[in-house]
Amino acid sequence: MRKKFANYSAGLAVFLSIMIFGGSMRQPQNEVPTYMDKDDSISQRVNDLLNRMTLEEKINLLGGTGFGTKPIERLRIPLLKMSDGPLGVRWDKSTAFPAATCMAASWDTSLINKVGKSIAEELKGKGRNVILGPCVNIARLPLGGRTFEAYGEDPYLASRMAVSYIEGVQSEGVAATVKHFAANNQEYERMFVDEKIDHRTLNEIYFPAFKAAVEEAKVLCVMSAYNKINGQYCSENDYLLKTKLKDDWKFDGLVMSDWGAVHSTIPTAKGSLDLEMPTGEFLNEKTLLDSVKAGVVKEETINDKVRRILTVMFNLGLFEKNEVPDTALVNTPPHRQIAYQAALEGIVLLKNETSILPLNLDKIKSIAVIGPNAAVARTTGGGSAMVSPVYSVSPLEALQNKLGARVKINYAEGATLSGDISAIDSRYFYLPDRPEHGIAAEYFDNQDLSGQPKVAETDDQINFNWHGQPPLPGIPGQHFSARWTMRILADETGDYSLDVVSDDGARLYVDGKIVINDWSSHGPAMNSYRIHLEKGKFYDIKLEYFQDTGGSSVKLGIRQTGDKLFATAIDAARNSDVAIVFAGTSAQFETEGKDRDNLGLPNDQDALINEVAKANKNTIVVMITGSPVLMNDWIDNVEGLVQAWFGGDEAGNAIVDVLLGKHNPSGKLPMTFPIRWEDCSAYNSYKKQDSVSVYSDGIFVGYRWFDEHDIRPLFPFGYGLSYTTFSYSEINGKAVGDSYEVTFEVKNVGNVEGVEIPQLYIHDPDKAIISPVKELKRFDRISLQPGETTEVKFSLKKIDFAHYNADKEAWETHPGTYDILVGSSSRDIKLETKIKIE
């Protein structure tokens, strides 16, 4: 029975609304409309509301408003309010959780579930209801600018992480968005590159995490990718969005585009994309209404898109509740603890010669703390995944806090990473035409500096981060440009670097000559120009900038160049008992919008590490990156090596607790670390053709490629050391009903408690079809006291032995005897048994 309105006038208003706007369902004036009755089923409510909407309203719902959908006040249709993720809520300041590569290195699904739940709580704290994460694209390209955002190179590991994250998020009544569908594996030419990928490879490597997100985690939203696959943009690709996602996997949520990833009106409207983001540039009333009325696009096709959007809203209960921001839910002590735990469990011990770790403080009186990542908290990479932390702690701060006066710390930066610049002090700037301090600034309401400036003013520095918001009244938050004209006066003769950090394009002129020309759309990136300045001399400077979409920031800095930093670091190492070099990259190198130029450590860090190792035989390197870097030039010269990733806001504390032995490291690599870039599967196809990327490696991605071609990696997939050791024994495999059970024992044979992550791989010795040497199918995390033994049990299904038949577009399991391989990494197989599949 329907609930009554409190008074006659409210019921009359609803009745008149229905009569005036042509709702097809006529209800008594004193009854609640079906779509507003929470006791009715979601499908009934959606259909009722859909029948009340005009065609114009339906079309208008297909385009976003920046980070949300359009509200329809007449029918009280609310907004879906979105926020970037996937590593925290990118809406003002929030808890910064570790990079997804770090989370994947934990191999801890229960922990990732807690991360997802924490992010969802903070999302509600911001008054939002859709997080744009997780990212599950496979790390085919270690150079990839967004590799840090996803869960590594293996589809099974990525699937387990994705399901746990999504279930954690959606348990809090908000929506997760699995992205980017599909194969968004490079940033180079990402907006238009045509990836040639066969259907077997898509289904075995690049689809499984998406499939698991839909079928197992019941994810509410899917985001399509920028790139093309086999000639079609992902946002209008029927094989991806219709055949696989909606037909095969029965996805009933909404499909949104990545921001600016729609390129057409009619093909997109006819296809299976539901929501164009950030705005309805192609899907709007002006471009689409006549085509629908003429039958070019069927109204039922539009209805299906709207139905999916409304279904998500009803699933989230948005018609019953209004998300009110609550700062008490943001950066809570439990969230910080989970961020710490995720950073801690993701740390991978890669080398530990002479058991230099954990540090023995009874024998150490001084520690040299060196490197560009020592005094800076590198919480994550750049772009839409970058979260502004409420709080963060660097390794240097954590060491100082935890050691106090017990050990002397000799700190030296040693090298400066590009992008680590301070804005030029206002006292060095002079207006271009008079002897007063300042910068002549002009702001334009277009992104090509055309026409007269909309706003002209005087700025005192160029150090802006507008976060995509309007920089000034009258200037839009997107698609604007600016020009700054000034003179600078050096107070000391010497060699300098003029540095420009911008998101998006920038051009720098010195004395009328263009010296930096980066006039393109991209995430935060730094460009530098070396210049010799003379004391007391004026130099004319002009900086031009444009903002396309997304984040918006620009900074002009200056720094002296030379060998002083280097020499100070060597001196610190020479005068300390132990030297720890905190090396790596930053958000300037690993970022959305561009790939790294190479896998090398930037800014002479290789030379720094080697010189520190010469000065101090007890040298440890802590690598802070989001993905692999080359280490062959120095790895034999250091005693210890720790892969700490971008560890979120608690990274410093987590790293130091591992170094001091307060936590026994247990992380395992979620991707192969190569000796050289040329050994990687994507090397033969990346940047080989303009606008095209042929996935010639097929199913042989990551460790599969290294195995197939018998290439020795620097560190294999699944690798990670501990402060203790484990033994494996007593393997047995047998059929149990329609499952296949594998059991074995693991023992802690060392002296301290530790966590081991046994991994199960399948090998097809008969090679009924071309297949990898081994494929990960199961893993577990087990904690053992010294001397303790436990039995590990894995259950396999017939589908685990299947491969995708592209001709039949179906999965097939070939009868035969398969090898079951169990070990501590993909290259350290401890036990083997066989299972026969009938």
> For the residues of 80-92, what is the DSSP string, one character each?
-BEEE-SSS--SS
Residue pair 801/765 in contact by the 8 Å Cβ criterion = no
Give whole-number Cα distances, 373 to 149, 416, 615, 618, 637, in Å: 20, 9, 20, 19, 20
> 306 and 195: one domain?
yes
pLDDT of residue 10: 40
> 21 and 160: one domain?
no
In the chain, what is the straight-line distance between the N-terminal and C-terminal CA atoms, in Å? Answer: 56
pLDDT of residue 111: 98
Catalytic residue among 258, 274, 595, 819: 258
Structure tokens at 229: 């696959």
Q: Of 325, 350, 373, which marks where a domain is finished?
A: 325
Nearest to 51 by CA among 73, 70, 34, 29: 34
> 184 and 276: one domain?
yes
Range of the domain at 19: 1-32
Q: Of 279, 300, 325, which marks where a domain is finished?
A: 325
Mapping DSSP onto H, E and C, the string for 777-795 reads EEECCEEECCCCEEEEEEE
Residue 293 placed within a domain:
yes
pLDDT of residue 198: 98
Residue pair 105/348 in contact by the 8 Å Cβ criterion = yes
Structure tokens at 399: 């060491």
Which residues contact residue 276 at a Cβ distance below 8 angstroms, ignoring those fewer than 6 apart? 62, 63, 64, 235, 256, 257, 262, 268, 282, 283
> 42 and 58: one domain?
yes
Residue holding tokens 């907004």? 79
Q: Which residue stretches of the chain have pLDDT < 50?
A: 1-27
pLDDT of residue 19: 37
Residue 354 placed within a domain:
no
Q: How far, in Å, CA of 521 to CA of 548, rounded?
A: 6
pLDDT of residue 29: 55
Nearest to 394 by CA among 346, 439, 343: 343
Q: β-strands 739-748, 754-756: how paired?
A: unpaired
Residue 638 placed within a domain:
no
- pLDDT of 291-341, one tens digit each? 999 999 999 999 999 999 999 999 999 999 877 899 999 999 999 999 999
Q: Which residues pair with 82 in a beta bridge?
A: 130
Backbone φ and ψ for 740, nearest 5 degrees, come out as -130, 120
Determine the 3-state secondary structure of 237 from DSSP. coil
pLDDT of residue 12: 38
> 154 and 6: one domain?
no
Residue 532 placed within a domain:
yes
Residue pair 665/408 in contact by the 8 Å Cβ criterion = no
Residue pair 421/557 in contact by the 8 Å Cβ criterion = yes
Residue pair 745/790 in contact by the 8 Å Cβ criterion = yes
Q: What burial class does residue 140 get, using C-beta atoms within 10 Å of its C-beta: 0-12 exposed, 13-18 middle, 19+ buried? A: buried
> 193 and 81: one domain?
yes
> 39 and 2: one domain?
no
Residue 611 placed within a domain:
no
Q: What burial class does residue 2 get, using C-beta atoms within 10 Å of its C-beta: 0-12 exposed, 13-18 middle, 19+ buried? A: middle
Residue pair 645/99 in contact by the 8 Å Cβ criterion = yes
pLDDT of residue 197: 98
Q: β-strands 439-444, 692-694: how paired?
A: unpaired
Backbone φ and ψ for 748, nearest 5 degrees, come out as -85, 110
Determine the 3-state secondary structure of 325 from DSSP. coil
pLDDT of residue 24: 40
Residue 63's CATH number: 3.20.20.300
For this structure, is 828 an active site residue? no
Residue 746 placed within a domain:
yes
Residue 577 placed within a domain:
no
> 114 and 143: one domain?
yes
Residue 526's CATH number: 2.60.120.380
Structure tokens at 71: 């509200």
Rg, the chain, Cα only: 28
Structure tokens at 499: 């540095």
Q: What burial class does residue 259 get, using C-beta atoms within 10 Å of its C-beta: 0-12 exposed, 13-18 middle, 19+ buried? A: buried
Which residues contact residue 271 at a Cβ distance below 8 angstroms, ignoring those fewer than 6 apart? 235, 236, 237, 238, 241, 242
Structure tokens at 422: 């301070």
pLDDT of residue 28: 52
Sign of torsion over alpha carbons 138, 140, 143, 144: negative
Which residues contact residue 557 at a Cβ distance below 8 angstroms, ignoring those fewer than 6 apart? 421, 422, 423, 424, 498, 499, 500, 501
Q: How far, in Å, CA of 196 to CA of 563, rounded?
A: 47
Q: How far, in Å, CA of 657 to CA of 401, rounded?
A: 12
pLDDT of residue 783: 98
Residue 625: CB atoms within 10 Å: 27
The answer, as to whether pTM is greater than 0.75, is: yes
Residue 738's CATH number: 2.60.40.10
DSSP code of residue 755: E
> 235 and 289: one domain?
yes
> 157 and 296: one domain?
yes
DSSP string, 111-130: HHHHHHHHHHHHHHHTT--E
> 534 and 552: one domain?
yes
Nearest to 166 by CA among 211, 127, 128: 211
Which residues contact residue 774 at a Cβ distance below 8 angstroms, ignoring those fewer than 6 apart? 703, 704, 707, 761, 762, 763, 821, 826
Residue pair 163/134 in contact by the 8 Å Cβ criterion = no
Residue 685 placed within a domain:
no
pLDDT of residue 1: 35
Q: Of 560, 593, 627, which marks where a domain is finished?
A: 560
> 315 and 430: one domain?
no
Q: How far, in Å, CA of 231 to CA of 16, rounded?
A: 50
Q: Based on the structure, what is the number of domains in the chain?
A: 4
